[in-house]
Copies of this chain bind each other. A is one copy, B any other.
């Protein structure tokens, strides 16, 4: 498999061209392209240009609205409710995250509930945007069901990720962004495609028995990480990104969705102003904890791999498979 090297500007241009050709207007194409650009910049390949054809296909088929105008439906107390207008989440984030950040600084803690949106990216970009405002943040979203409940064998939850971020003045924030399932969906699909075994504990077959055969897992269900504790987190995410904000659960997404590409659903984002809760020392206090943890050999903080890649790619550019490059150029 040959690779093509692109500058970060070329990544942005390619993503924009594909999205525009699919029918996205500038107000939609730019935030979506920037989301893929951020992933490529940080070496998070699975959410980079690899996703571009998926975004474009959903816009072309009109499943996603490429001319969405997400809008704040109401700001009441410490809650902002947004309607996503069937657009991709990064479009709603353009105005939603600055509004959430401002409200959190005013109220101490605040929530942004986005309905009728399609989440096809990682969760760390929106969390990072909030940490850049000096806030701690959490984000939750659900998806069509692939994961079984503790004691069950039926697919009932999406891989239901949650992300948490903590601001680090002058350097990349601490952010984790992790699925409630042991592995990402894509990891099982790639194992099936390439004929590898899935990791131990990744899922069960249709008979309910644990297996490492990726085809059996795709026919059965993925397992939550950490057994019943991960399943409880998947249920929490389902409630927070679903009934709490008037949106679909994973099972309801399955019932309504056509199964092709990203699905319509909801997202909940929470933001916390550390100086309002813990006083002016909060950020420095977090740094003392990180410093103590990093004293130990072999330990790194969540998000440090992305942070280490970030300074390199503006110089070195990024590589994508030649086949992906051809596919995207053909979509322009």
Q: How long is the Cα–Cα vector from A182 to B276 in the complex, in angstroms? A: 33
Judged by a CB distance under 8 angstroms, whether A299 is at the interface is yes
Tell whether, in the assembled complex, residue B108 and residue A76 are in contact, meaning their CB atoms are under 8 Å apart: yes
A266 vs chain B, min Cβ distance (A): 9
- Interface residue from B152, B239, B277 paired with A244 (Cβ < 8 Å): B277
Judged by a CB distance under 8 angstroms, whether A88 is at the interface is no
Chain B residues closer than 8 Å to A244, beta-carbon distance: 136, 272, 274, 277-278, 282
Chain B residues closer than 8 Å to A111, beta-carbon distance: 108-109, 272, 277
Interface on chain A toward B: helix, strand, loop, or mixed SS? mixed
Tell whether, in the assembled complex, residue B81 and residue A176 are in contact, meaning their CB atoms are under 8 Å apart: no
Q: What is the copy number of this chain in the assembly?
A: 2
- Interface residue from B166, B229, B239 paired with A166 (Cβ < 8 Å): B239
Chain B residues closer than 8 Å to A296, beta-carbon distance: 149, 152-154, 156
Tell whether, in the assembled complex, residue A299 and residue B243 are in contact, meaning their CB atoms are under 8 Å apart: no
Chain B residues closer than 8 Å to A289, beta-carbon distance: 238-239, 242-243, 249, 251
Chain B residues closer than 8 Å to A219, beta-carbon distance: none
Judged by a CB distance under 8 angstroms, whether A4 is at the interface is no
Chain B residues closer than 8 Å to A283, beta-carbon distance: 243
A147 vs chain B, min Cβ distance (A): 12
Chain B residues closer than 8 Å to A246, beta-carbon distance: 277-279, 281-282, 285
* Chain A 221-235 per-residue mask, 1 if CB under 8 angstroms from chain B, else 0: 000011111101001
Q: Which of A260-314 contact B (CB under 8 A)?
A: 268, 270, 272, 274, 276-279, 281-283, 285-286, 288-289, 292-293, 296, 298-302
Tell whether, in the assembled complex, residue B176 and residue A245 are in contact, meaning their CB atoms are under 8 Å apart: no
Tell whether, in the assembled complex, residue B79 and residue A107 are in contact, meaning their CB atoms are under 8 Å apart: yes
9 nearest CB pairs, A to B: A226-B226, A79-B108, A77-B107, A246-B278, A243-B285, A176-B232, A78-B78, A225-B226, A151-B298
